Amino acid sequence: MVNIHVPGSKSITNRALVCAFLSKTPLKLKNILASDDTFYMQEGLKKLKPLFSRTHDKSDTQPLQIFCGNSGTTVRFLSAVAALQSHPVIITGNARMQKRPIEDLVFALRQLGADVYTQRKNGCPPIFIRGPLRGGICTVNGKKSSQFLSALLLAAPYAQHDVTIKVQGKLLSKPYIDMTLRVMQSFGVSVQHKNHRTFIVKKKVYGGRAAPYIIEGDASSATYFWALSALTGTPVHIPNIPRNSIQGDAQFKKLIRTMGVGVPLKPLGAVDMSDMPDAALTGAILCAFSDGVSTLTGLENLALKECDRLTAMTNEFSKIGAEVTQLKDGWKIRGQPQKLHASARAIDTYDDHRIAMCFGVVQKLIPSLKIENKGCVKKTYPHFFKDLKKIPAPRNIIITGMRGSGKSTLGKALAKRLKRRFYDVDRLIEAREGKRVARIVQEKGWNYFRECEQKVTHSLECLTNAVISTGGGTFIDKENAAILKKHGIIILLTDTISNLEKRIQQSHHRPALTSQKSVHAELQEIWQARKKKYYTVADVVIKRTMLTRDIATIIRKLKEYAL
The pLDDT of residue 383 is 97
Sign of the Cα torsion 225, 227, 229, 232 reads: negative
Checking 240-246 for CB contacts under 8 A at 24+ apart, the result is 240/5, 240/6, 240/8, 240/31, 240/216, 241/6, 241/216, 241/217, 242/216, 245/216, 245/219, 246/12, 246/178, 246/179, 246/182, 246/183, 246/216
Task: Give the whole-angstrom CA distance, residue 19 versus residue 40.
Answer: 16
Which of the following is catalytic: 36, 104, 249, 278?
Answer: 278
The 3-state DSSP class for residue 534 equals helix
Asked which of 235-239, 429-433, 485-489, 544-548 is least confident by mean pLDDT, the reply is: 485-489
Separation of CA 142 from chain center: 26
Position 336 confidence tier, pLDDT thresholds 50, 70, 90: very high
CATH architecture of structural domain 219-239+247-388: Alpha-beta prism (3.65)
The reported pTM is: 0.84
Q: Enumerate residues 6+ apart whose C-beta is below 8 A from 179.
A: 11, 12, 15, 246, 247, 248
The 3-state DSSP class for residue 296 equals strand
The one-letter amino acid code at 186 reads S
Task: Give the whole-angstrom CA distance, residue 524 versus residue 287.
Answer: 47
Task: Give the whole-angstrom CA distance, residue 398 versus residue 466.
Answer: 8
- Pairing status of strand 213-214 against strand 29-30: parallel
The pLDDT of residue 420 is 87
Q: Are 78 and 66 in contact (CB under 8 A)?
A: yes
Looking at per-residue confidence, does 243 or 57 come out higher?
243
Separation of CA 554 from chain center: 33
Task: Give the whole-angstrom CA distance, residue 122 versus residue 459.
Answer: 49
Sign of the Cα torsion 50, 56, 57, 63 reads: positive
Residue 432 DSSP class: H
Tens of pLDDT, residues 101-159: 999 999 999 999 999 999 999 999 999 999 999 999 999 999 888 999 999 999 999 99
Instruction: Identify the CATH number of the domain defined by range 396-561.
Output: 3.40.50.300
Task: Please say if 278 is a catalytic residue.
Answer: yes
Superfamily of domain 10-214: Enolpyruvate transferase domain (3.65.10.10)
- Please report, for the chain, the start and end positions of each structural domain, with discontinuous segments joined by +: 10-214, 219-239+247-388, 396-561
- Ramachandran quadrant class, 169 (left: phi over 0; alpha: psi -120 to 50; beta: rest): left
Q: Are 124 and 101 in contact (CB under 8 A)?
A: yes
Tens of pLDDT, residues 189-230: 999 999 999 999 999 999 878 899 999 999 999 999 999 999
Position 513 confidence tier, pLDDT thresholds 50, 70, 90: low
Position 341 confidence tier, pLDDT thresholds 50, 70, 90: confident
| Residues in the chain, total | 563
Task: Give the whole-angstrom CA distance, residue 44 versus residue 65.
Answer: 9
Nearest to 457, CA basis, from 424, 434, 492, 414: 424
